[in-house]
Structure 1
Amino acid sequence: MTSLTELDGILYFPVTPFTPRGTLNIDLFTDLVADRLTWNPGAVFPACGTGEIHALSSSEVGRIVQSSVDVVAGRVPVIAGAGGPLGHALECARSAADVGADALLVLPPYLVSGTAEGLVAYVRAIAAASALPVIVYHRGTAQYTPEAMRRLAEDPAVIGFKDGTGDMGVLQQILSAVRASGRTDLQFFNGLLTAELTQSAFRAAGVPLYSSAAFAMAPAVATAFYRAYRTGEEDQRRAILDAFYLPLVALRDQTPGFGVSLVKAGLRLRGHEVGGVRPPLTDPNEAQLAELDRILTVGESLAEHAGVVLR
């Protein structure tokens, strides 16, 4: 298995499928994760933002993480979501450790906004709940100051930082603060919505990794983009960016929460009955579905042209 301090490849955030009755569809979830493993992601992040952790009970999170560990079977790291109310986050952390996950992604506590000191305490409490290392997610109600990250970096249990704000100035300050702590092994990655759009800027800042929600619904397109990004084929990267990612972002920005809703809709358009999103998120309307289908078709054509075989 890839070392947690040497992650490489697309970071895969699977959706959480639901049955028509609204319950977890574990069989479909395992099928989707097994299929995406054939595309060689760098890690699997179940029950995180794309997996609708905000709408899952801690027991549902535990089932999703257990299924991920079973199907991945040690091929890549499984990094489970833990966040929201502290009690919920602690339950998720403990169950992830019990079922054999490799690490935790600490998502924001939601609703409330604490101080920098409070956020440090929040991360430390979750890290103390199990022996699993943790990655900090810098977004929303959990925005960490450079000093807070310097302090957290002193704890060897903190192994990574996911940026979800896109403030490159603050990111550079955090990178410098972590280096000043003496840590050279923390993994940093771009965690913005549709991260492919901004990844060139993150790479220039010294952050080569990114999460990909698009990989969950369109692995061929995401793979073609990633290959072009890694090999420096700028014409190909820009062609996919212009024809697929930019229209996808324009559609995503029409409605709050579409960073998740469109991914599930894209899977449904390609024959995977993952169900809709749970409230308070909403699903796209017919016109938006038609536009998403058009965007996917264009992206898949570009992926084939780049030599990525659709499956």
Structure 2
Amino acid sequence: MSVSTLRGVIPPAVTVFNEDESINIELFREHLRYLLSNNIGGISIGGSTGEGHALSSQELKQLVEIGVEETQGKVPVIAGIIRDSARDAIEYAKVAKEAGADYLMITPVHYFLPDDDAHYEFYKAISDAVELPIIIYNVVPTAVITPECMKKLAEIKNIIGIKQSGGDIHALNKMMLELPEEQIVWSAVDALLYPTYALGAEGSIAAILTVLPELCVEQWEACEQGDFEKAKEIHYKMLPTWLAMDRNNMPSRTKEVLRQRGFNVGKPRSPFHPITDENVDAISKALDHAGIAKAPVSN
């Protein structure tokens, strides 16, 4: 896969767990097939929506292998890596490559407030060890990759761009303004996807894409065609769903949205827990607002 093919709506898959917290392979395959039926531009496995922080390297390998089987080369597969040392990140990157991943999407470390030099050494070590394109996942509030830091990281040979998250449309805009032309910026500003597309984001990798892929693809295609009125209309349909998700216990909220849509994706790994009845009701009302049909499934 060339870098230029990684555009558009790229949903991050959830990881489906059984009651004993083992991975349910068949339901994970069903989840991937549903996402792939929506004209998406790629698929991310093992990111934060996929509870990548809670996966062993061999579990990530297994999930990526399944993703490669299900996509059949039609869209790129991105392996998410959420580790707190270069050594561990390299281990995960190697097994992801062995499993057939096309790209790596890597968070900075979560602890000890790394400075820009530490960020550089972390990503350079991974790049030197594993020959795969790297997307920086700018999501960690204690380890923010600033546009200035990203300009330095862009000098590392395998880094191709950044997934800009954290609700910061200003940083996303500055990234696009200041980064070298060959660096790509994907949006993860779930509440503001359509204005980020209008600003020039090459697509998105974000949790809202996973729960409302039909609307998200329709919105992206509208922006590609210059129909920003339609994109704005879809934005306001989807916004309450994101506002109901964007709180503590995010894995449970994401899976609850999918559950209400009729998809059995299990529960998150501990210590995350099911959400309250009040929050279940808020999600239900948000889906009604989006005009999405709901099909209750058993708990």
TM > 0.5: yes
Q: Using structure 1 for the length normalisation, give the TM-score.
A: 0.84
Tell me, yes or no, if the aligned pair for 1:10 and 1:210 is still in contact at 8 Å.
Answer: yes
Q: Deviation of residue 124 (structure 1)?
A: 1.1
1:208-223 alignment to 2 at 5 Å?
208-223=202-217
Please tell me whether the aligned partners of residues 45 and 81 of structure 1 are also in contact (alpha carbons under 8 angstroms).
yes
Moved more, 86-95 or 117-126: 86-95
Shift of the alpha carbon at 1:62?
Answer: 1.6
In structure 1, what is the Cα distance between the partners aligned to 2:260 and 2:252?
A: 12
Question: Structure 1 CA distance, aligned partners of 2:146 and 2:259?
Answer: 40
2:249 matched residue in structure 1: 257
1:174, distance to aligned residue in structure 2 (A)? 3.6
How far apart, in 2, do the equivalents of 1:296 and 1:164 lie? 23
Identify the range of structure 1 (290-299 vs 153-162) with the bigger mean alpha-carbon deviation.
Answer: 290-299
| 4+ runs deviating over 6 angstroms | none
* Greater shift in the superposed pair: 272-281 or 130-139: 272-281
Instruction: Give the partner amino acid of 2:286.
Output: I
Name the residue aligned to 2:281: 290
TM-fit CA distance, 1:240: 2.9
Match of 2:121 in 1: 121
- The one-letter code of the counterpart of 1:206 is G
Is the Cα–Cα contact under 8 Å of residues 13 and 46 in structure 1 kept in the other structure? yes
CA positional deviation for 1:132: 1.0
Q: Unaligned stretches of 5+ in structure 1?
A: 303-311
Residue 305 of structure 1 corresponds to which residue in structure 2?
A: none
Q: Match for residue 27 of structure 2?
A: 28
Q: Does the 8 A contact of 1:17 with 1:28 survive in 2?
A: yes
Identity of aligned residues (%): 29
Q: Note the 1:40-189 alignment, pairs <5 A.
A: 40-86=39-85, 87-140=87-140, 141-179=142-180, 184-189=181-186
Picking from 253, 259, 268, the partner of 1:268 is 259
- What is the Cα deviation at residue 172 of structure 1? 4.4
Unaligned runs of 5+ in 2: 294-299
CA RMSD in angstroms comes to 2.3
Distance 1:95 1:250, change over 3 A: same
Per-residue CA deviation, residues 188-235 of structure 1 (Å, 9 max, x unaligned), is: 11123xx2x212432344324212323322332323333333334344
